[in-house]
Structures are given as C-alpha cells and as structure tokens.
Amino acid sequence: MKKSLLGFLAVVFLALGSADLSAQDQDPVILTVAGEQISRSEFLNVYLKNNVNSEVLDRKSLEEYMELYINFRLKVKEAEALGMDTMRAFRDELSGYRKQLAQPYLIDEDMNKALLQEAFDRKQTDIRASHILIRVDRNAAPADTLAAFKKVMAIRKRLQKGEDFGKLAMELSDDLSARDRTMEGRTIKGNKGDLGYFTVFDMVYPFETGAYNTPAGEISMPVRSDFGYHLIKITDRKPALGRVQVAHIMLRIPAGASVEDSNRVAQNATDIYNRIKSGEDFSRMADQYSDDKSTASKGGMLPWFGANKMIPEFIAEITKIKKIGDLAEPFLTSFGWHIVKLIDRKEIGTYDENLNELKQSLTRSDRAKRSEEALISRIKNEYKFTEKSKTLAPFYKAVTDTIFEAKWKKEKAAGLEKTMFTIGRRGYTQQDFAAYLEKNQRKRNKEDIRTFVNQMYGSFVNESLLTFEDSQLEQKYPEFRMLVKEYRDGILLFELTDRKIWSKAVADSAGLELFYENNRNNYMWEERADATIYTIHSTDAVIVAAVKASIAKGISGNELLDLYNSDTLLMLTFDRKKYENGDNELVDSVNWKPGIYDQTAEEGKTKIIQIHELVKPEPKKLNEARGLITADYQNFLEKEWIKELRDKYSFSVDQEVLSTIK
C-alpha cells in the first residue's frame, strides 16, 4: 500500500503543477494558510498546469481545485510544525534532488549546442591515424613541459624531412604499444603508432580535435592532452561505417609457414570464396572451414561493431561492401585470410535520432570541460570577478612537501588574511584558500610546489564561481525556486503521509479490523458456485465413465486420487473452489445447479465439473480482501486527518480575488 517517493512526487507535481512566476506589481493574495500567503498568480499557474485537458476555466473546477490545494498546504504546514523540515535525512534528500535540478542551470547552453553539433558532424567520418607520444604530466613544471615540447618538435622536423613515421614511433614514442613487447611469456607485435580507425568520443577530446583538424596524409602540430604531446598522422578518412554485423570465414596461416604453405592457404580462401559466389551456403562453409572456432558453429556470425572495434585492415575491406548480403574478396590480416559477408548495417541517422546518445556521451567526455569553461567565463563577467594576483605568491613558501603526504595544515598560512578575489560583493581570502588546500589535499607524488599551488588555486577559483552561481539560482530563476519548493513540499508530504496513512494502515491491525467490522457489507461476494473441477488425463470413454461413477458415489477427492493414480501414473487431478460468475470459463459454461457435468475432451484430457452447492452473497473475510480493505482504510484515515487539520489550522480564500480568474 505504500507508494514510492518518485511516483508520489510525480502525482503531486501533476496535481499541483509548478509556477513560472514573473514579477507583477499587482498580484493579490488569493489564499492564506496558517499565516502563509499564496498569490493569485502562483495558484493560477498551478491550476493551469494541472488542467492537462485544456478545459475551459469555470468556477466549479476552480473551487474544487482550491479545496485540494488547501488540503495540500495544510499537510505541509503540519510537517513543518512537527519539525520534519529540520531533520538531517530530509535536508540531505532535498539537497540531492536540488543538485540534480540545478544541473541544467550550471551549463553553458550555447557551448553545449555547439559541442553536440560538432560531435554529430565528426560522427559522419571515420579516421585512421598514427601517433607519436612524448609523455609529460598535465601538472608538470614549466621547464619539464618546455623540454617535452622541444623534443616533440624535433621529431616533427625529422618527419618533415622524410623519415618514416612508423620507425620513429617505434624508436621514440612513449606509447608502449608502438613497439614489440613481451607480456605473460608471449610477444606482442608493435603497431608502429597505428591506432586504427576511430570516430567521435573514441579518443580524449584534444587528440580527437587534433585528428579531425588534420588533413589526410599530413602530420599535426603537437597536440597536448593529459598524457603529454602527440604528433598525429592521418592515414585515411572515410564516410562513417556506422554499426555493422558481418559473418566471416577465417583461414589461419600456421606459425613458421613456408611461402608454399602461405600460398596454399590463400588459394583455399579463393576457392571457398568462389564456391560461395557460385551459390554454396556461407554458414555451412563457415562451419566446415573457418579456423575461428568461436564463430564457425554460428555460421561465422560476429557481434555488431563499429569502426574502432576491429583491426584497420578488416574495417577497410568491410567498407568496400556496398549491399547487404554481398561478399568482400578474400583479404589478408595479421590473423589470416578472411572471407566476409555483410549481414546488416545501421546508418548514422539524423541529428535528432542521435541527440540523446550524444548528450550522454558529452556528459561523460572530457569535452564537458569546454562547457564548464564557457560557464565560468560568463559567471566572471556577470558578477564582475576581480582578483589580486600578488596574493598567491606567499603560498609558494607556505605550502611545503607535507601536502603531498596529506599532512599540511592551514596554520602554515597563519597571518595571510588578504582578499584574493571577489565575486559580486563577496570576497574570498587567503584563509579561504588555505582551508581549501587543507581539505582537498591527498597523498600523491611530489611535484613542483609552484605548479601545484597554481593548479589548486585555479580549481579553487572555478569551484568558488560555480558554488556562487549555484547559490543564486533561486533568485535568478523563479521557475527553479518553485521547482525546488515543490520537491521540498513533496518530500515532506510523502514522509508525513507515510507516517499518518500508509504505514499506519498496514501496521494498525486493530484499527483495520474495526474499520472492516464497521464496513464489512461493502465487501460482498456475489452468488458463488462451490465447485470441483476434475481433470482426467485420458479421453478413454471407459476410464471417464468409471471416474464419473466414482464421483457420483460420493467418494472424496483424495480417495479418488489414491484410487486412480499410482507412483508411475498420474491419471487424475482436482481443484475445489468457490467461483463467482466470470472467474472460470468451464464453471460458467454449466448449469449452476448441484450435479455432475461432462466437458468435451481437449488435448488428451477430459474435464468433469461437479457443482456441490450455490453459496448466497455474503461479506468477504478480511484476509479475502485485505488489499482493497486496506486501501479504503487509508482513504478513511486521510479524510479524518484532513478534518483534523482543517480544525487545527486557519485558512481563508479571498473569494473576490478568486472571482477575477476568468
């Protein structure tokens, strides 16, 4: 009987709506509840939002809705009077909901739209690229960053002079996958920097942007990511593959195979391809010849995949297949020879079709920082952010290496009291920054103190700006203020209703019993047939006649089971119940008079219905209708509660103001 909070809130918000208030010089009070004044515009907006059928306003519906709204406000007042709005659990729950509600207000909408459009545009193209990585930590000292930049530029000059990209990647790249390496006793061949095909969201955003902004065949300028500096060479650009499903037959070339052996495998692949082209079944050929045992028994079928999930040679060949059902000519990869059939393809689709997925990916992507950066810039302009850069210098001495052990104390910054920056009218001091450093320190590798302090100060400024903006939302956006208020009131109402109605109705067995006794005639059985349905697992006329004769003699059901069933043979089952009209088609089909009635045999079984007696209408027992009775008891408790609240708290409706609503 207890409702879920989210479901309950949904009902409350549908019933009570949300106000989108605008400043009005004349907005008279239409309702006063225990001293709280509700304006005409607030009530009207709530009412209109609830008017989901767009019905014409009329006095009766307004008055009926006003009564519901009064009840709602009275319940919230009672929750406040009980101090439920001051409880820690309530405050934490409301804070969680408010945080979710605030998220759409703490993004830069224009930047988000631009990022979504950019992502969709990039999704139209698959890129194959190689890279050389020179690692440098994102928080590295300026000298280390400069050294890494000089190193990567020197490599770029060598590439421009014609040196082989793959060779330099093997020699100089800090991406270990570029060169051969041994793992768990086996040698893994290096990729020479080749990353294969990828598309939007497959790479970190700076790398992705560098790749998409570099023409095919060219090498990018150094691209900085959290991993370091990248040189990116674009080896191919092609229209997006989308998602495809293929079947393949793979013929593996044995390790150490001779030229003759390799040629023999290639010829086998060609022969199988020609046989399939001539009409032989692909699935049967895969089962018979494919060395990929994980797919051979499935007709060679591979799961759905995109361009980034297969080696580039495989993707390049699949892209050439234009029609569903067509084959790619046999091709060689590091795994062996492949014959591939295109089973199905899912195209990229329109912007609107991709929008939800793009939004989810954007939220998880590091490019979300761009939206945050744009928002922070807007907040700085809106609240006339100013800072005093010289106030940061004392922290280069006050902060010691103990901060990398999470043991630094803000007392080290004692005496530093100056204002570091101002947002609106609020100033943030050096002591505020010291407290931030102490709170956010953690065990980490030592790094340059100056670089670390600068990075932490930047985070402190950004978080302060976002927190300040968050604190202004109720004032800046009336619809947000009202939405938070609705959640607040809804949570209070849910908890109090659970306490007073739902849980009470379930737990108060004495009260429920008394309610049932006073209202038992409201829960009546209609006329019922006391009947037994016998199921004979046979259509043999002799057996059916014997069972029917035994029933007529008055032999009990359990005795019949012993008589006709054995340990190895189940001949007879039965079920005795009291049936109302409509409960069972078999019982409904016979005359409701005491007697024995045959049914036509179906599916090797014969049904016999015995009507024992007709049971006159009578009240249902409590355990026979507990759910319905409990629900009615809850409604009874709520009505009594509302009467109590209306007697306890004062309320008044200004009828003149109500009459102005047309």
Reduce the DSSP state of residue 583 to 3 states and report it.
Answer: coil
- From 175-184, 288-297, 434-443, 513-522, the region with the lowest mean pLDDT: 175-184
Mean pLDDT, residues 624-629 taken together: 93
Reduce the DSSP state of residue 215 to 3 states and report it.
Answer: coil
pLDDT of res. 4: 58
Alpha helices in 161-237 (DSSP H): 165-172, 205-212
pLDDT of res. 253: 92
- From 22-36, 130-144, 404-418, the region with the lowest mean pLDDT: 22-36
pLDDT of res. 34: 93
Per-residue pLDDT at 58 exceeds 70: yes
Would you place residue 25 in the very low, low, confident or very high pLDDT band (cuts 50, 70, 90)? very low
DSSP per-residue string spanning 289-326: H-S-HHHHTTTTBPPPB-GGGS-HHHHHHHHT--STT-
Q: How far from 338 is each of 96, 190, 291, 298, 327, CA to CA, in Å?
A: 54, 22, 10, 16, 11
CA distance 437 to 321: 58
Alpha helices in 589-625 (DSSP H): none
Would you place residue 18 in the very low, low, confident or very high pLDDT band (cuts 50, 70, 90)? very low
Would you place residue 7 in the very low, low, confident or very high pLDDT band (cuts 50, 70, 90)? low
Q: Which residues pair with 594 in a beta bridge?
A: none
Per-residue pLDDT at 78 exceeds 90: yes
Mean pLDDT, residues 243-263 taken together: 92
HSE-CB of 325 using CA atoms within 13 angstroms: 3
- From 287-291, 401-405, 484-488, the region with the lowest mean pLDDT: 484-488
Mean pLDDT, residues 537-549 taken together: 91
Percent of the chain at pLDDT above 70? 95
Would you place residue 15 in the very low, low, confident or very high pLDDT band (cuts 50, 70, 90)? very low
**189 close to 196: Cβ distance less than 8 angstroms:** no
Burial class (CB in 10 A: 0-12, 13-18, 19+), 20: middle
pLDDT of res. 139: 80
HSE-CB of 644 using CA atoms within 13 angstroms: 10
Q: In the block, which residue shows the tokens 């199905």?
A: 344
**Where do the DSSP E strands lie in 34-110?**
36-39
Mean pLDDT, residues 633-658 taken together: 94
Q: What angle do CA 305, 306, 311 make, to 5 degrees?
A: 90
CA distance 368 to 115: 9
Mean pLDDT, residues 619-633 taken together: 94
pLDDT of res. 53: 59
The 3-state secondary structure of 345-386, one letter per residue: EECCCCHHHHHHHHHHHHHHCCCHHHHHHHHHHHHHHHCCCE
Would you place residue 60 in the very low, low, confident or very high pLDDT band (cuts 50, 70, 90)? confident
All residues at 6 or more sequence positions from 81 whose CB lies less than 8 Å from its CB, including other chains: none
Q: Which residues pair with 238 in a beta bridge?
A: 126
CA distance 436 to 247: 57
Per-residue pLDDT at 398 exceeds 90: yes
Q: Tens digit of pLDDT for each residue in 350-389?
A: 999 999 999 999 988 889 889 899 999 999 999 999 999 8
Per-residue pLDDT at 97 exceeds 80: yes
- From 251-265, 279-293, 339-353, the region with the lowest mean pLDDT: 251-265
**Where do the DSSP E strands lie in 500-556?**
524-525, 528-536
- From 252-261, 456-465, 540-549, 599-608, the region with the lowest mean pLDDT: 599-608
Mean pLDDT of the chain: 91
pLDDT of res. 465: 97
Q: Is the CA virtual torsion 270, 272, 277, 282 positive or negative?
A: negative
Burial class (CB in 10 A: 0-12, 13-18, 19+), 89: exposed
Burial class (CB in 10 A: 0-12, 13-18, 19+), 364: exposed
Mean pLDDT, residues 452-472 taken together: 96
Reduce the DSSP state of residue 469 to 3 states and report it.
Answer: helix
Question: Where do the domains of the chain lie, and which CATH numbers do they carry?
Answer: 1-81+492-513+625-662 (no CATH), 125-239 (3.10.50.40), 243-346 (3.10.50.40), 383-473 (no CATH), 524-619 (no CATH)
All residues at 6 or more sequence positions from 88 whose CB lies less than 8 Å from its CB, including other chains: none
CA distance 528 to 506: 29
pLDDT of res. 534: 94
pLDDT of res. 6: 54
Per-residue pLDDT at 160 exceeds 90: yes
Q: How close are the terminal C-alpha atoms of the chain, in Å? A: 39
pLDDT of res. 277: 95
**487 close to 101: Cβ distance less than 8 angstroms:** yes
pLDDT of res. 51: 67
pLDDT of res. 100: 93
Q: In the block, which residue shows the tokens 């001495």?
A: 397
